[in-house]
Amino acid sequence: MTKTETIKFSKIILNWYDFNARKLPWRIEPKNSKKGILINPYHTLVSEFMLQQTSVKTVIPYFKNFIQKWPSIEKLSNASEDEVLSEWAGLGYYSRARNLIKCSIILREKFNNTLPSNLHYLQNLPGVGPYTAAAIRSIAFNQPAVVIDGNVERVISRLFCIEKPVKSSKKLIYCLTDQVTCKKRPGDFAQALMDIGATICNSKKPKCNICPLLKHCKAYKNNLTLSIPHKEKKKKKPTRYGYAFFCIFKKKYLILEKRPENGLLGGMMSLPTSDWKERKEIVNIPKIFTNYHEIKGDISHSFSHFNLKLKVLIIKKNQLPKNMKIQKITELDLKSFPKIFQKIINHALNSDYLNNLKN
Protein backbone atom coordinates (compact mmCIF):
# COMPACT_ATOMS: atom_id res chain seq x y z
CA MET A 1 0.00 0.00 0.00
CA THR A 2 1.10 3.54 -0.69
CA LYS A 3 1.07 6.10 2.10
CA THR A 4 -2.16 7.58 0.70
CA GLU A 5 -3.77 4.13 0.56
CA THR A 6 -2.68 3.39 4.10
CA ILE A 7 -4.22 6.61 5.42
CA LYS A 8 -7.46 5.86 3.56
CA PHE A 9 -7.46 2.32 4.92
CA SER A 10 -6.93 3.60 8.47
CA LYS A 11 -9.84 6.00 8.15
CA ILE A 12 -12.16 3.22 7.02
CA ILE A 13 -11.18 1.02 9.97
CA LEU A 14 -11.40 3.79 12.56
CA ASN A 15 -14.70 5.17 11.23
CA TRP A 16 -16.17 1.71 11.58
CA TYR A 17 -14.74 1.36 15.09
CA ASP A 18 -16.12 4.72 16.22
CA PHE A 19 -19.65 3.38 15.74
CA ASN A 20 -19.21 -0.36 16.28
CA ALA A 21 -16.61 -0.83 19.03
CA ARG A 22 -17.47 -3.58 21.50
CA LYS A 23 -18.18 -2.27 24.97
CA LEU A 24 -15.80 -4.13 27.25
CA PRO A 25 -15.02 -3.35 30.92
CA TRP A 26 -11.28 -2.94 30.26
CA ARG A 27 -11.78 -0.45 27.42
CA ILE A 28 -12.69 3.20 27.04
CA GLU A 29 -15.08 4.34 24.34
CA PRO A 30 -13.63 5.72 21.07
CA LYS A 31 -15.14 9.14 21.74
CA ASN A 32 -12.99 9.38 24.86
CA SER A 33 -9.82 7.93 23.35
CA LYS A 34 -10.05 10.50 20.53
CA LYS A 35 -9.87 13.19 23.18
CA GLY A 36 -6.59 11.76 24.41
CA ILE A 37 -8.08 10.05 27.47
CA LEU A 38 -6.14 6.88 28.33
CA ILE A 39 -7.40 3.77 30.06
CA ASN A 40 -5.87 2.60 33.33
CA PRO A 41 -2.83 0.58 32.13
CA TYR A 42 -3.33 -1.88 34.98
CA HIS A 43 -6.73 -2.78 33.50
CA THR A 44 -5.08 -3.52 30.17
CA LEU A 45 -2.45 -5.67 31.87
CA VAL A 46 -5.01 -7.77 33.74
CA SER A 47 -7.33 -8.15 30.74
CA GLU A 48 -4.50 -9.17 28.40
CA PHE A 49 -3.33 -11.84 30.83
CA MET A 50 -6.86 -13.17 31.18
CA LEU A 51 -7.55 -13.10 27.44
CA GLN A 52 -4.60 -15.34 26.61
CA GLN A 53 -6.25 -18.45 25.09
CA THR A 54 -9.58 -17.50 26.69
CA SER A 55 -12.70 -15.97 25.13
CA VAL A 56 -13.93 -12.45 25.85
CA LYS A 57 -17.28 -13.75 27.10
CA THR A 58 -15.57 -15.98 29.67
CA VAL A 59 -13.16 -13.27 30.82
CA ILE A 60 -15.66 -10.43 31.47
CA PRO A 61 -17.04 -11.59 34.88
CA TYR A 62 -13.57 -12.69 36.06
CA PHE A 63 -12.10 -9.32 35.12
CA LYS A 64 -14.83 -7.38 36.94
CA ASN A 65 -14.41 -9.42 40.13
CA PHE A 66 -10.62 -9.27 39.95
CA ILE A 67 -10.47 -5.48 39.55
CA GLN A 68 -13.01 -5.00 42.31
CA LYS A 69 -10.90 -7.11 44.68
CA TRP A 70 -7.49 -5.77 43.60
CA PRO A 71 -8.08 -2.35 42.01
CA SER A 72 -4.40 -1.43 41.63
CA ILE A 73 -0.94 -2.85 41.04
CA GLU A 74 -0.06 -2.16 44.66
CA LYS A 75 -3.11 -4.03 46.01
CA LEU A 76 -2.38 -7.04 43.82
CA SER A 77 1.30 -7.09 44.77
CA ASN A 78 0.31 -7.52 48.43
CA ALA A 79 -2.16 -10.34 47.77
CA SER A 80 -1.34 -13.96 48.59
CA GLU A 81 -0.91 -16.44 45.75
CA ASP A 82 -3.57 -18.75 47.20
CA GLU A 83 -6.07 -15.91 47.30
CA VAL A 84 -5.41 -14.90 43.68
CA LEU A 85 -5.46 -18.48 42.43
CA SER A 86 -8.78 -19.01 44.18
CA GLU A 87 -10.23 -15.98 42.39
CA TRP A 88 -8.76 -17.24 39.11
CA ALA A 89 -10.22 -20.76 39.55
CA GLY A 90 -12.19 -21.91 36.51
CA LEU A 91 -10.40 -19.54 34.15
CA GLY A 92 -7.63 -22.06 33.48
CA TYR A 93 -3.95 -21.67 32.57
CA TYR A 94 -3.04 -20.84 36.16
CA SER A 95 0.55 -19.92 35.38
CA ARG A 96 -0.95 -16.66 34.06
CA ALA A 97 -2.21 -15.78 37.54
CA ARG A 98 1.14 -16.53 39.16
CA ASN A 99 2.97 -14.48 36.52
CA LEU A 100 0.54 -11.61 37.02
CA ILE A 101 1.37 -11.54 40.74
CA LYS A 102 5.10 -11.59 39.92
CA CYS A 103 4.54 -8.70 37.50
CA SER A 104 2.78 -6.64 40.14
CA ILE A 105 5.64 -7.17 42.62
CA ILE A 106 8.24 -6.11 40.03
CA LEU A 107 6.15 -3.07 39.08
CA ARG A 108 5.86 -2.10 42.73
CA GLU A 109 9.55 -2.51 43.48
CA LYS A 110 11.12 -1.22 40.25
CA PHE A 111 8.53 1.05 38.63
CA ASN A 112 6.77 2.66 41.62
CA ASN A 113 3.48 0.80 40.97
CA THR A 114 3.26 1.97 37.37
CA LEU A 115 3.39 0.11 34.08
CA PRO A 116 6.12 1.10 31.58
CA SER A 117 5.28 1.74 27.93
CA ASN A 118 8.70 0.67 26.68
CA LEU A 119 8.50 -2.65 24.79
CA HIS A 120 11.83 -3.85 26.15
CA TYR A 121 10.76 -3.32 29.78
CA LEU A 122 7.35 -4.84 29.12
CA GLN A 123 8.73 -7.99 27.50
CA ASN A 124 11.01 -8.54 30.49
CA LEU A 125 8.00 -8.89 32.78
CA PRO A 126 6.98 -12.49 33.68
CA GLY A 127 4.43 -13.91 31.25
CA VAL A 128 4.57 -10.93 28.88
CA GLY A 129 5.49 -11.91 25.33
CA PRO A 130 5.69 -9.81 22.15
CA TYR A 131 1.92 -9.73 21.61
CA THR A 132 1.00 -8.76 25.18
CA ALA A 133 3.74 -6.10 25.29
CA ALA A 134 2.56 -4.60 21.98
CA ALA A 135 -1.09 -4.67 23.12
CA ILE A 136 -0.25 -2.86 26.38
CA ARG A 137 1.88 -0.24 24.62
CA SER A 138 -0.75 0.37 21.95
CA ILE A 139 -4.00 0.11 23.92
CA ALA A 140 -2.93 1.49 27.29
CA PHE A 141 -0.54 4.22 26.11
CA ASN A 142 -1.75 4.88 22.52
CA GLN A 143 1.77 4.43 21.21
CA PRO A 144 2.59 2.69 17.90
CA ALA A 145 3.05 -1.07 18.12
CA VAL A 146 2.21 -4.04 15.90
CA VAL A 147 -0.56 -5.91 17.70
CA ILE A 148 -1.37 -9.31 16.24
CA ASP A 149 -3.71 -11.84 17.83
CA GLY A 150 -5.61 -14.68 16.15
CA ASN A 151 -8.34 -12.33 14.94
CA VAL A 152 -5.86 -9.93 13.35
CA GLU A 153 -4.00 -12.82 11.69
CA ARG A 154 -7.24 -13.91 10.05
CA VAL A 155 -8.21 -10.40 8.90
CA ILE A 156 -4.77 -9.65 7.44
CA SER A 157 -4.52 -13.09 5.79
CA ARG A 158 -7.84 -12.57 4.02
CA LEU A 159 -7.25 -8.92 3.26
CA PHE A 160 -4.01 -9.71 1.39
CA CYS A 161 -5.04 -13.22 0.27
CA ILE A 162 -2.23 -15.07 2.02
CA GLU A 163 -2.85 -18.68 1.04
CA LYS A 164 -0.14 -20.27 3.18
CA PRO A 165 -0.90 -21.39 6.75
CA VAL A 166 -0.55 -18.75 9.44
CA LYS A 167 2.34 -20.60 11.10
CA SER A 168 4.50 -20.21 8.00
CA SER A 169 3.31 -16.63 7.31
CA LYS A 170 4.03 -14.96 10.66
CA LYS A 171 6.73 -12.61 9.31
CA LEU A 172 4.64 -11.57 6.30
CA ILE A 173 1.56 -10.95 8.46
CA TYR A 174 3.67 -8.87 10.85
CA CYS A 175 5.07 -6.74 8.00
CA LEU A 176 1.66 -6.19 6.44
CA THR A 177 0.06 -5.33 9.81
CA ASP A 178 2.88 -2.89 10.49
CA GLN A 179 2.31 -1.36 7.07
CA VAL A 180 -1.38 -0.66 7.64
CA THR A 181 -1.34 0.21 11.37
CA CYS A 182 -2.49 3.76 12.08
CA LYS A 183 0.19 5.78 13.86
CA LYS A 184 -2.19 8.46 15.19
CA ARG A 185 -4.70 6.19 16.96
CA PRO A 186 -2.78 2.91 17.26
CA GLY A 187 -4.74 1.66 20.27
CA ASP A 188 -8.13 2.14 18.64
CA PHE A 189 -6.82 0.74 15.36
CA ALA A 190 -5.53 -2.44 17.01
CA GLN A 191 -8.82 -2.98 18.85
CA ALA A 192 -10.77 -2.24 15.67
CA LEU A 193 -8.99 -5.00 13.76
CA MET A 194 -9.61 -7.38 16.68
CA ASP A 195 -13.30 -6.46 16.73
CA ILE A 196 -13.68 -6.94 12.97
CA GLY A 197 -12.06 -10.36 13.29
CA ALA A 198 -14.22 -11.32 16.28
CA THR A 199 -17.59 -10.03 15.08
CA ILE A 200 -17.44 -9.99 11.26
CA CYS A 201 -14.40 -11.74 9.77
CA ASN A 202 -14.87 -14.89 11.83
CA SER A 203 -13.43 -18.22 10.80
CA LYS A 204 -16.51 -20.24 9.82
CA LYS A 205 -19.24 -17.77 8.80
CA PRO A 206 -17.70 -14.41 7.86
CA LYS A 207 -20.25 -11.62 7.41
CA CYS A 208 -18.62 -10.21 4.28
CA ASN A 209 -21.72 -8.23 3.31
CA ILE A 210 -21.28 -5.86 6.28
CA CYS A 211 -17.49 -5.82 6.42
CA PRO A 212 -15.96 -2.33 6.07
CA LEU A 213 -12.96 -3.91 4.30
CA LEU A 214 -14.99 -5.72 1.63
CA LYS A 215 -13.78 -3.56 -1.29
CA HIS A 216 -10.16 -4.05 -0.26
CA CYS A 217 -10.32 -7.79 0.56
CA LYS A 218 -8.35 -9.84 -1.99
CA ALA A 219 -9.59 -13.15 -0.56
CA TYR A 220 -13.19 -12.04 -1.19
CA LYS A 221 -12.36 -10.92 -4.74
CA ASN A 222 -10.83 -14.32 -5.44
CA ASN A 223 -13.65 -16.25 -3.72
CA LEU A 224 -11.19 -17.69 -1.20
CA THR A 225 -12.61 -16.27 2.02
CA LEU A 226 -13.53 -19.63 3.54
CA SER A 227 -10.23 -21.29 2.63
CA ILE A 228 -8.08 -18.51 4.11
CA PRO A 229 -6.30 -18.73 6.47
CA HIS A 230 -5.33 -22.21 5.31
CA LYS A 231 -5.87 -24.64 8.15
CA GLU A 232 -3.29 -27.26 8.97
CA LYS A 233 -4.56 -30.61 10.12
CA LYS A 234 -4.80 -30.75 13.88
CA LYS A 235 -3.12 -33.65 15.59
CA LYS A 236 -5.52 -35.82 17.51
CA LYS A 237 -5.14 -35.15 21.22
CA PRO A 238 -4.11 -38.17 23.30
CA THR A 239 -6.30 -39.33 26.16
CA ARG A 240 -4.90 -39.80 29.63
CA TYR A 241 -6.47 -41.85 32.41
CA GLY A 242 -6.31 -41.86 36.18
CA TYR A 243 -8.14 -41.69 39.52
CA ALA A 244 -9.41 -38.86 41.70
CA PHE A 245 -9.75 -39.54 45.41
CA PHE A 246 -12.78 -38.07 47.18
CA CYS A 247 -11.53 -38.62 50.73
CA ILE A 248 -13.92 -37.98 53.60
CA PHE A 249 -12.20 -37.23 56.90
CA LYS A 250 -14.20 -37.95 60.08
CA LYS A 251 -17.47 -37.87 58.15
CA LYS A 252 -17.52 -34.04 57.87
CA TYR A 253 -14.42 -32.96 55.97
CA LEU A 254 -12.98 -33.32 52.49
CA ILE A 255 -9.23 -33.97 52.22
CA LEU A 256 -7.47 -31.59 49.84
CA GLU A 257 -3.92 -31.04 48.62
CA LYS A 258 -2.05 -28.24 46.90
CA ARG A 259 -0.80 -29.21 43.45
CA PRO A 260 2.93 -28.75 42.66
CA GLU A 261 3.82 -25.22 41.54
CA ASN A 262 5.41 -26.27 38.26
CA GLY A 263 2.87 -28.81 37.09
CA LEU A 264 -0.53 -28.62 35.45
CA LEU A 265 -2.98 -26.53 37.54
CA GLY A 266 0.11 -25.59 39.55
CA GLY A 267 -0.44 -24.17 43.02
CA MET A 268 -4.19 -24.87 43.03
CA MET A 269 -6.05 -26.60 45.85
CA SER A 270 -7.52 -29.84 44.56
CA LEU A 271 -8.49 -33.38 45.41
CA PRO A 272 -5.64 -35.88 45.55
CA THR A 273 -5.26 -37.83 42.28
CA SER A 274 -3.18 -40.58 40.78
CA ASP A 275 -0.79 -39.84 37.93
CA TRP A 276 -2.48 -39.17 34.59
CA LYS A 277 -1.15 -41.63 32.03
CA GLU A 278 -1.93 -42.58 28.43
CA ARG A 279 -3.08 -46.07 29.36
CA LYS A 280 -6.19 -47.73 30.70
CA GLU A 281 -4.54 -50.33 32.90
CA ILE A 282 -5.00 -50.14 36.65
CA VAL A 283 -2.64 -47.59 38.13
CA ASN A 284 -0.93 -48.04 41.46
CA ILE A 285 -3.23 -46.56 44.10
CA PRO A 286 -1.33 -45.25 47.15
CA LYS A 287 -1.84 -47.31 50.31
CA ILE A 288 -3.38 -44.31 52.07
CA PHE A 289 -6.26 -44.45 49.56
CA THR A 290 -7.18 -48.13 49.83
CA ASN A 291 -10.59 -49.42 50.96
CA TYR A 292 -12.38 -47.28 48.42
CA HIS A 293 -15.72 -47.31 46.64
CA GLU A 294 -15.62 -46.56 42.92
CA ILE A 295 -18.44 -44.34 41.67
CA LYS A 296 -20.07 -45.32 38.39
CA GLY A 297 -19.11 -43.25 35.37
CA ASP A 298 -16.02 -41.32 34.31
CA ILE A 299 -15.24 -37.64 34.55
CA SER A 300 -14.03 -36.26 31.21
CA HIS A 301 -12.15 -33.02 30.73
CA SER A 302 -10.20 -31.49 27.88
CA PHE A 303 -6.92 -29.62 28.33
CA SER A 304 -5.05 -27.84 25.55
CA HIS A 305 -2.77 -30.80 24.77
CA PHE A 306 -4.71 -33.85 25.94
CA ASN A 307 -8.09 -35.21 26.99
CA LEU A 308 -8.51 -36.63 30.48
CA LYS A 309 -10.75 -39.38 31.87
CA LEU A 310 -10.83 -39.96 35.61
CA LYS A 311 -12.60 -42.49 37.77
CA VAL A 312 -13.70 -41.16 41.16
CA LEU A 313 -13.04 -43.18 44.30
CA ILE A 314 -14.76 -42.36 47.60
CA ILE A 315 -12.64 -43.14 50.65
CA LYS A 316 -13.37 -42.72 54.37
CA LYS A 317 -10.39 -41.69 56.53
CA ASN A 318 -9.91 -41.12 60.26
CA GLN A 319 -6.28 -40.06 59.93
CA LEU A 320 -5.13 -37.07 57.90
CA PRO A 321 -2.32 -37.91 55.43
CA LYS A 322 0.83 -35.77 55.56
CA ASN A 323 0.89 -32.42 53.73
CA MET A 324 -2.86 -32.45 53.16
CA LYS A 325 -5.56 -30.10 54.34
CA ILE A 326 -9.23 -30.43 55.17
CA GLN A 327 -12.32 -28.39 54.49
CA LYS A 328 -15.88 -28.90 55.70
CA ILE A 329 -17.92 -30.53 52.95
CA THR A 330 -20.89 -28.29 53.79
CA GLU A 331 -18.70 -25.19 53.33
CA LEU A 332 -17.09 -26.08 50.01
CA ASP A 333 -16.87 -23.22 47.52
CA LEU A 334 -16.81 -24.99 44.15
CA LYS A 335 -15.76 -21.81 42.35
CA SER A 336 -12.44 -21.90 44.17
CA PHE A 337 -11.51 -25.17 42.42
CA PRO A 338 -10.36 -25.71 38.82
CA LYS A 339 -13.19 -26.90 36.56
CA ILE A 340 -12.02 -30.50 36.43
CA PHE A 341 -12.29 -30.72 40.22
CA GLN A 342 -15.63 -28.94 40.24
CA LYS A 343 -16.91 -31.78 38.03
CA ILE A 344 -15.40 -34.44 40.28
CA ILE A 345 -16.81 -32.96 43.50
CA ASN A 346 -20.28 -32.59 41.97
CA HIS A 347 -20.11 -36.16 40.67
CA ALA A 348 -19.24 -37.48 44.13
CA LEU A 349 -21.75 -35.35 46.04
CA ASN A 350 -24.56 -36.45 43.73
CA SER A 351 -23.63 -40.16 43.79
CA ASP A 352 -26.05 -42.71 45.21
CA TYR A 353 -23.27 -44.11 47.39
CA LEU A 354 -22.59 -40.82 49.16
CA ASN A 355 -26.28 -40.07 49.58
CA ASN A 356 -26.75 -43.49 51.20
CA LEU A 357 -23.92 -42.71 53.61
CA LYS A 358 -25.74 -39.58 54.72
CA ASN A 359 -28.86 -41.57 55.42
Query: In the predicted model, is pLDDT for residue 359 greater than 60?
Result: no
Look at residue 162 and tell me whether its pLDDT is greater than 80. yes
48 is catalytic: yes
pLDDT in tens, 261-274: 877 888 888 999 98
SS3 for 22-58 is CCCCCCCCHHHHCCCCCCCHHHHHHHHHHHCCCCHHH
Q: What is the pTM (predicted TM-score) of this model?
A: 0.84
- Mention every residue, 6+ apart, whose C-beta is less than 8 A from residue 180: 1, 6, 9, 10, 156
| Percentage above 90 pLDDT, the chain | 67
Q: What are the phi and psi torsion angles at 239 (to 5°)?
A: -110, 130
Burial of 70 (0-12, 13-18, 19+ CB in 10 A): buried
Measured CA to CA, the distance from residue 300 to residue 311 in angstroms comes to 9
- Reported for 328-334, long-range contacts at CB under 8 A and 24+ positions apart, including other chains, are 328/252, 328/253, 328/254, 329/248, 329/252, 329/253, 329/254, 330/252, 332/254
- Of 5, 48, 278, 281, the active-site residue reads 48
Chain segment 85-139, per-residue pLDDT in tens = 989 988 888 899 999 999 999 999 999 999 999 999 999 999 999 999 999 999 9
Residue-wise pLDDT for 314-324, tens only, equals 999 888 888 88
